[in-house]
């Protein structure tokens, strides 16, 4: 019997983490060591207007201005990750949103190890297939999730696709 179908998720390494290249490299190693396939990757930055669009669902929340100001404050790494149950696995690896809570209940999680505060919590991850597709499209408009599943997913799942990581260019 073959492996289950892979699932895609968006992962962001946020500006607070990106300010520390050694920590950024450590988190990329954690991602690889936990069996994630990095399908696409790019270092990018977004402006305030783009940040507001990305976090639109939180517009009425008290932290919206702080969150959008922060996420647009510097470069991030955006990645399309694939793995069986990748959304749940990535969210578990990140740990709770609130860094102090992560340190208490998930001390080995990325946010516990590298987060600074509730907003500056090192990482972001999609919370559902629907949000993953939308968020991937936001950062990778040329990436077609449906097409990837039709033409590439089985190759990655069955390890018939060669993946080469280049920290400057993403995947080659």
Residue 91 among known ligand-binding residues? yes
**144 labeled binding residue:** no
Rounded CA separation 69/51 (Å): 8
The answer to whether 124 is a known catalytic residue is yes
Q: What are phi and psi of 40, to 5 degrees?
A: -140, 150
* CA pair distance 44, 34, nearest whole angstrom: 24
Q: Are 74 and 115 in contact (CB under 8 A)?
A: no
**Residue 47, marked binder:** no
Catalytic member of 20, 89, 124, 161: 124
140 is in an annotated binding site: no
Q: Do 163 and 38 form a contact (C-beta atoms < 8 A)? A: yes
Q: Which residues participate in the annotated binding site for ATP?
A: 14, 63, 91, 97, 111, 121
Q: Which residues participate in the annotated binding site?
A: 14, 63, 91, 97, 111, 121
The catalytic residue positions are 124
């Amino acid at each position: 019997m073959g492996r289950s179908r892979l699932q895609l998720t968006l992962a962001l390494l946020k500006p607070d983490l990106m300010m520390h290249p050694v920590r950024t490299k450590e988190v990329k190693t954690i991602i690889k060591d936990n069996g994630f396939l990095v399908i696409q990757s790019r270092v990018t930055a977004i402006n305030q207007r783009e940040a507001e669009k990305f976090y639109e669902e939180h517009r009425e929340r008290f932290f919206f201005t702080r969150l959008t100001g922060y996420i647009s404050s510097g470069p991030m790494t955006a990645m399309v990750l694939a793995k069986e149950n990748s959304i749940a696995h990535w969210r578990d690896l990140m740990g709770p949103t609130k860094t102090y809570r992560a340190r208490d209940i998930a001390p080995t999680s990325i946010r516990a190890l590298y987060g600074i505060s509730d907003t500056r919590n090192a990482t972001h991850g999609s919370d559902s297939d629907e949000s993953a597709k939308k968020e991937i499209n936001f950062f990778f408009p040329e990436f077609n999730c449906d097409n990837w599943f039709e033409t590439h997913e089985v190759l990655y799942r069955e390890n018939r696709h060669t993946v080469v990581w280049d920290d400057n260019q993403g995947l080659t």
